[in-house]
Amino acid sequence: MEQILQTTYLWLKAGHVIFVIFWMAGLFMLPRYFVYHQEADPGSAEEARWVDREAKLRKIILTPSMIMVWVFGVALAFAGNWWVAPWLHTKLLFVVALTGYHGWLVSYAKKLAKGERTLTGKKLRLLNEVPGLAAAVIVVLVVVKPF
């Protein structure tokens, strides 16, 4: 029985890591798409292509990956019985923040699709650093478990 639990745990962990990679890739790509989108002329065919690309990225990669990260992550927390671990609480705080960032990206994509360009390219480039910083903190929390 213990062997089955260990094998299941490893598959859950593999699934979690795989979908974290996909989700992070999408979180890095979408703000960069926004920069290119905003550089396109309003109403142009190029702008329409960026709207389509952004929608596909969100619907095919970004949102499904985020959902799977949560599914595998919660399953891992149960399998490892980590709910009382302080590092997990802090990690969850950062993952919730990334989920909120994801939601904000989706809402901004919808604004851009309507022609609303409320941020500069420079601000979007700075926002592109958010997932990298969050990922660095999350990795330290999971690997080092500082508390």
Q: Which two tokens stand for residue 114?
A: 């309507």
Report the C-alpha gap between 73 and 64 in whole angstroms.
Answer: 14
Identify the sign of the CA torsion 8, 76, 67, 49.
Answer: negative
**Continuous segment of H or E residues that includes residue 57:** none
Is the separation of the CB atoms in 33 and 56 below 8 Å? no
**Spatial distance between the Cα atoms of 57 and 63, rounded to a whole number of angstroms:** 8
What's the full length of the chain, in residues?
Answer: 147
The reply to whether 91 sits in an annotated binding site is: yes
89 is annotated as contributing to ligand binding: no
For the annotated binding site, the residues are: 16, 91
Binding residues for heme are 16, 91
